[in-house]
Structure 1
Amino acid sequence: MTTTSASTKPAGARVRVQRFGTFLSGMVMPNIPAFIAWGLITALFIPTGWAPNGILGGFGNEAVIGWTGSRTALAAAEDGTTFPQYVGLVGPMITYLLPLLIANTGGRMVYSTRGGVVATIATMGVIVGSTIPMFIGAMIMGPLAAWLMKKIDAIWDGKIRPGFEMLIDNFSAGILGGALAIGAFFGIAPIVTAISNTLGDAVDWLVSNQLLPLVSILIEPGKVLFLNNAINQGVLTPLGIQQAQESGKSILFLLEANPGPGLGILLAYTFFGLGIARASAPGAIIIQFFGGIHEIYFPYVLMKPILILAAIGGGMTGVAINVAFQTGLRAPASPGSIFAVLIQTAPGSYIGVILSVIGSAGVSFLIAAVILRASRKRDLAAGETGDLSAAVAQTEAYKGKSSAVLGGLAGQSAAGNGASRSTEADAATPAHTAAPTRELRTIVFACDAGMGSSAMGASVLRNKIKKAGVTGVAVTNQAIANLDGSADLVITHRDLTDRARDASPNSLHLSVENFMASPRYDEVVGMLTERGNTNNRDEVTR
C-alpha cells in the first residue's frame, strides 16, 4: 500500500529561509506546553503576579521593598532585616528547563535519542557560560552536537568487535558531550550572549524611537510567504523570553501572534467579497481568530496581493497601540488564538492588548474593504469571483507542504465549483496495491512537526473508524523524525512519503493529498471492516 510521486525540489533564497525557519520551528513548537506552563507559573507567583509566593516565585525581600529582579542569595530590607532569596520555579525553568528541551528536540530531529542526549549535555555549557536565557545557544548547540555525534558514529560503524558496542557507544557519547559542553562554555556562550545583547539593544532602540511598528512591513508579508518562522523562532521568541524574565512581559510576543490583521481581512471578504471567497470567509474567521490558525487567511490575500497593505496597516496599528500602552505577554501565544493571547497577557496589559487587537482588525478591515469595493465592479464585469482553490494551491506551494486547514478550505471552494479538488488530486496519485496481508492495529499520521495537519487527519480517520464500528485500532499522530517502525500503517502527505518510508521501512505507507478529506480513508476503513475488526466480532485474527 505505497504510492510514489515525482516531485521537484524547490530552490532559491526564499525556500532556504523557509526550510531554516521550519527547522527552528520544529525545535520550538513541540515544547510550547512547557513555555505555557512557565508563563502561568510566572503569572501566578512573581511579586506582581496574581498570587505572589516567595518560595515558588523565587524572591525574598523584594516583596517587601519592591521587585528588583535581584538574584543574590540574601537581600536586605530598608531596616536591615534580611530575607532568604528563594530559588523558586520561575528562574530555573527559563534558565535550564526550556533551553534543554529545545536542545533535546533539535538533537532528536538530527540523530534520534542518541543525538538528543549529546545535544542536552553540550547545551549545558552554553547555559552555564551565560547570564541570559540561552535559547539561541540551544538552537545552535543542539543540532550541531547531534550532527557531530552522527558523523563520529559513522567512522567506526560496523568495525567494533562484538561485545564492545555498548562500551564504545556510551563512552564516545559521554566524551563528545563533555568536550562540547566545555567548548560551548568558553566559545559559544560569549558569542551568543553578545549577539543577543546586540539584538536586544536594536529592539530597545526601535521602541525608544517609536519605530517598532515598522517591523510589520517585514512580518506581515513574511507570514503570507511562510518566511516568518526564521524571524519568530530564531529572534523574537528568544529575545521576548529574555525581556519577560527581566520585566515580566514582552511586546515581541505580540508582533506576529496578534490575530487582528487577519480578522479584518476576513471580515472585509465577508461583507464585500465575491463568490466562494465571501461564502467561506465567516468559517475561516472562526478558525483564524478563535483557533489561532493564521494561515487560513493567507489564500484570501494571495487572491488579491494588494491586500497585503491591509495586513501591514493592521499590524502596524496593533504594534503602535501596544507600544503606547506599554503592554506585553508573559510567554509566547501559540497558536495565535485570541484565547491564547489573553491567557498570556501580563497583568495590567489587558486594556492595551485588547485595544491592539480591535484596532488592528479595524484598520485592516477598512483598507481591505476599500480595495474590495474598488475592484468589485471590474471583477463582476470580467466574471472573476476569485479562484480560492488556486490561491490555496499557491499558499501550500509557499508553505512547502500540504495543510489540513487549507485543504478543507480548498474543498469548500471546489464544492462551490462542482468538483472536489482533493478527490481529483488523490485520484491523480498512482493507485496503491491490493489490501495488505498484515493486520492493521496501529495507524500513525505523520508530518514534519507531528502536530497541526497530522493531528487533524488522525481525528478524521478516527471518527470514520468509530462510525464504522471498528475496534482495536489505535490512530495517532507524530513527527516523521519520531517514527520508530512500530506502526502498521503510516499515512503522510504525498510529498513526505519517501521520508516516512526511510524512517519506518517496515511499515505500510499510504500517501494522501488532503489530510482533511481524502477518499483513501474510506478504503482503509473498508479493509478494517473486511478483516472483522467490528463490534459484532468476538475475536480478531492476528
Structure 2
Amino acid sequence: MTTTTTSPQSAPAAEKQPGSLRVGVQKFGSFLSGMVMPVIPALIAWGIITAVVVNIQEFYGDWTPADALGETIGPMIHYLLPVLISVQGGMMVYQMRGAVVGAVATFGTIAGSDYLLGDAGIHMFIGAMIMGPLSAWVMKKLDALWEGKIKAGFEMLVNMFSAGILAFSMAVVGFFALAPPINWLMEVLGNAVRFLVDSGLLPLTSLLIEPAKVFFLNNAINHGVLTPLGTNEAAGEAGKSILFLLEANPGPGLGVLLAFTIFGVGAARATAPGAALIHFVGGIHEVYFPYVLMKPALLLAVIGGGTTGVTTNMIFEAGLRAPAAPGSIIAIAIQTASDSYLGVILSVVFSAAVSFAIAAVILLASRRRDMEADDQFSAAIAKTEAAKGKKSAHLSSLAAGAANLPAAAAGRISTIYFACDAGMGSSAMGASVLRKKLAAAGIEDVHVTNKSIAALPGDADLVITQQTLTDRARPKEPEAIHVSVDNFMNAPEYDEVVELVKTSGQNNDDAATLTSAPAGGGTATATAAKTAVLTQDRIRIHSGAASQDQALAEANEILVSAGAVTEDYLQAMRDREATVSTFMGNELAIPHGTNEAKGSIRASALSVVRYDGGVDWSGDQVSFVIGIAGVGDEHLQILARIAELFADEAKVAELKAASSEQELFDRLNAVNG
C-alpha cells in the first residue's frame, strides 16, 4: 500500500557501465538458472536413489534389488540429467524443435568426452548448457532463412529433414569441437577447487559468493560452475561434494535475520522473524537481502558466516549428495551424505552464530541513529527488487509486512487520519468514504477523521495521504502506517485498509461506536450545513467545457459573492493545485485553499458547478467542481455526505442527468437529511 517515489537522475556514461555489466551477469545467471532449476527434481531423485542404494549396501551388504536399482545411478547422472538440461535450454530458445536438436547435440558432446577420456569421462553439464541453447538458436535462424519459401505440400518434409540434419551436424560439432575444450575446462576448474581445498583457501570463496548472492549475481557461479563441479565430485568415489553447500548454506542469512529480530528497529525488526522462517525453512534466501542492503556493513556478517560454514564443512569433510534447491534446511538435510550430518548441521549452526555476532555488533553500534532516522526498510526492499531486475512475490510480501508494522506491533488500529495540505476538503471526503466502508464491514471502534498535515498530532495508527504528500506526513506521524493514494474518492487502497483493520483485531463486540468527528472535535448539524453552507444560488450548470483555471475562478467568484472568502482565495486555490491536485475521482474536483490561506476565509460555504463539456483537471476529466471554504467544522458534515454520494457511480450519473440547478440542488440536498 505504501508508495515510494524516486526521481532517478541520469548518470554519467562511466557510471552506467558497471550497472550494465551487472545486468548482463544477472541475465546470464538467470538463463542458466532457467535451464538448471527445472531439472533439480531429477537431481534430487538421483540423490535419493544414490542414498537408498548406498545405505542398503552399507548396512546389509549385497542385496540383489538394491544392486539392480544401483544400475540407474550412473546412466542418470551421465546421460539423463545433461540431456534434460539441454532439452530445457533448447525449449527456452526455440520450444520443442530447439529442444530436440539440442538434446541430440548434447548426446554427441557426451560421447565425444567419453571417447577422449574413457571411463574417466566427465558429466557434461556445462556442455549441455552450451549445446542446448546454441543448437536451438541455429535451428531458429535456419528456419527463418526459408520461411515462406517452401512450396505447399513440402513443409513437413523440409522441417523434419532440416532438423535431423542440423541435429546430426551439431552432434558432430559437439563430439569433435566442443568436448575437448570442456574436458580441459573441467579439469582446470577441478584442479582449482582441489588447490583451494588442499591449501585451506576454499572458505575465501565466500568473499565472492556472499556479496554476489545479495546482488543476484550468484546464479552464474552456482549453476554455471558449482553445480557441474559438485555433481562430478558427488558421482565419484566420495559420493558427496562440499561445493553444493558454498551457496546453499542458510546459516549466514539466518544469523542476520536473528540479529534484526533482537537488535533491529522499526519495520526491519518486526518483519525479521517471519523472514527468518521463510529463509531457513522455505529456502527463499532473497528475503534477507533487503536487510543487508539497508546496512551494507552487514556484508561482513554474511561473509563471516559463509567462511565459517565452509571451514566447518572442510574440517568434518562434510558434503551433500546433490544440490539442495531451494536452499532450505529441509532440502539440505535430505541431500546430506550419511557420514556428513554432524558437519553439515554444525556448519549451519556455526555460520549462523558468527553472522549473528557480527550483525549484532553492527546493529548495536548504529541503533541510536536508526531509531532517530526514518525507517529505510521499504527503500531497501525496493533496492533489492531493482538489483533482481524484476518483481518478486516474496519481496512484495516483505514490503507488505513492513507497511503493516504498527498494526502488528500495537495489535490494533484505532485512529486513522486523512491528511491533506489544508485538512478541510479532500481529506474530509476521503474520511467519509472510509468510514462508510468500515461500517459496512461491521467495524465500529475506529476513529476516522481528517486533518491538515501541519495539525497531525503524532498519535495515529494509520495515516492516508495523496502520494505527493506522504513524505511530508511521515515526520509528523513516524510510528504510523502511511498509505499513499492517487485520489481520496475511490482509491482501491481503502479496501486494503479495511482488511488491515480487520486483521488487527478491531472488530470487538464491546467496542465503542464508530467515530465520525471532524478535525477540531466539533460536530456540525445537518440543518446548519443545509442553510448556511450550500444554497441553491451557489449551484450552476454549464453546457460547455472550461479550463481548470476558469473553473477555479468561477468557484472563487461564487464563494466571494457568498461572503465566504476574499479575492485572495483564488491564488490560494491555485497554489493548492500546484502542490497536489484536488481531483477526487468519479469526475469530481474540490478546489480549496492551502493551510496558509485560512486568513482569507470569512465563513463556511460550498459552491457547485457542473460542466457538461468537462474540465481537464491536470490530466483527469472532471464534470463537477465543488469549491470549498471552511471555518471550523460547519462544512464538513455535508461534505462528508457528498463524498458518499460521489462514491456511488450510479448516483453520479443521476447528478449528471439533472436538467436544472434546482433539480441538481434537490439531489444534493437529499444527502443532507
User: Which TM-score applies when normalising by structure 1?
Assistant: 0.69
Residue in structure 2 matching 1:393, options 358, 365, 382: 382
Query: Deviation of residue 414 (structure 1)?
Result: 2.1
Which of the residues 2, 16, 30 maps onto 1:22?
30
Residue type of the alignment partner of 2:397 = G
| Aligned counterpart for 2:156 among listed residues 144, 166, 171 | 166
Q: Which residue of 2 aligns with 1:518?
A: none
Match of 1:326 among 302, 317, 327: 317
Task: Give the whole-Å Cα distance in 1 for the aligned partners of 2:249 and 2:262.
Answer: 22
2-structure distance, mates of 1:244, 1:56 = 23
| Counterpart check, 1:111 vs 2:100 | no
| Structure 1 position 338 matched with structure 2 position 329 | yes
Per-residue deviation, residues 381-427 of structure 1 (Å, max 9, x unmatched): xx225321111110000001000010001011123374799x98997
Q: Is the 8 A contact 2:53 2:70 kept in 1?
A: no
Secondary structure in structure 1 of the residue aligned to 2:71: coil
Q: What is the DSSP-based 3-state SS (H/G/I as helix, E as strand, rest coil) of the residue aligned with 1:251?
A: coil
Aligned partner (choices 180, 183, 204) of residue 193 of structure 1: 183
Q: Determine the C-alpha separation between the residues in 1 that align with 2:137 and 2:283.
A: 34
Aligned to 1:413: 402
1:133 aligns with 2:123: yes
- Aligned pairs for 1:347-496 (under 5 A) are 347-380=338-371, 383-384=372-373, 386-416=375-405, 418=462
User: Residue 46 of structure 1 aligns to which amino acid in structure 2?
Assistant: V
The equivalent position to 2:284 in structure 1, one of 293, 299, 314, is 293
8 Å contact from structure 2 (residues 278, 287) kept in 1: yes
- CA deviations on 1:238-295 (whole Å, 9 max, x unpaired) are 0000000012000000001100001100000000000111111111111000000000
1:212 aligns with: 202
Tell me what 1:3 maps to: none
Task: Give the fraction of aligned pairs with identical amino acids, expressed as a percent.
Answer: 60
| Number of the residue aligned with 1:256 | 247
How many Å separate the matches in 2 of 1:406 and 1:96? 37
Please point out which of 267, 283, 298 is paired with 2:274. 283
Q: Retained in 2: the 8 A contact 1:46–1:52? A: no
Distance 1:203 1:377, change over 3 A: same
Gap regions ≥5 residues in structure 2 = 1-7, 11-15, 114-120, 407-461, 468-481, 491-673
- Secondary structure at the aligned position of 2:170 is classed as helix
1:322 and 1:348 map into 2 onto residues whose CA distance is 12
Gaps (5+ residues) in structure 1?
Answer: 1-6, 60-85, 432-542
Contact 2:270 2:405 in 1 (8 A): no
Find the counterpart in structure 1 of residue 293 from structure 2.
302
Instruction: Give the secondary structure class of the aligned counterpart of 1:12.
Output: helix
1:460 is aligned to none
Return the alpha-carbon distance in structure 1 between the equivalents of residues 53 and 306 of structure 2.
Answer: 32
What corresponds to 2:611 in structure 1? none
How far 1:231 moved relative to its partner?
0.3
Displacement of 1:53: 5.9
| Partner residue in 2 for 1:121 | 104
Q: Structure 2: how far apart are the matches of 1:340 and 1:357?
A: 13
Distance in 2 of aligned mates of 1:225 and 1:173: 40
Structure index of larger Rg: 2
Deviating more after overlay: 387-396 vs 226-235: 387-396
- Counterpart check, 1:183 vs 2:183: no
Compared CA separation, residues 374 and 353, structure 1 to 2 (3 A):
same
Distance 1:56 1:333, change over 3 A: farther
Render the CA deviation track for 1:115-167: whole Å, top value 9, x for unaligned.
Answer: 11111111101111121100000000000000000000001001111111110
Matched-pair contact (CA < 8 Å) for 1:220–1:315: yes
Shift in Å, 1:27 = 0.1
- TM-score, normalization by structure 2: 0.56
**What residue in structure 2 maps to residue 496 of structure 1?**
none
Answer with 408-417 or 11-20: which moved more: 408-417
Match for residue 74 of structure 2?
91
Read off the aligned partner of 2:131 and give its amino acid letter: M
Q: Does 1:101 align with 2:84?
A: yes
Change (3 A) 1:301 1:49: farther
Work out the number of aligned pairs and report it. 395
- Superposition CA RMSD, Å: 2.6
Q: Report if the CA contact (8 A) 2:291-2:377 is conserved.
A: yes
Shift in alpha-carbon separation, 1:175–1:40, aligned structure 2, 3 A: same
> Partners in 2 of 1:53 and 1:334 — Cα distance?
32
Offset at 1:367? 0.3
Match of 1:31 among 28, 39, 44: 39
Secondary structure of 2:243 counterpart: helix
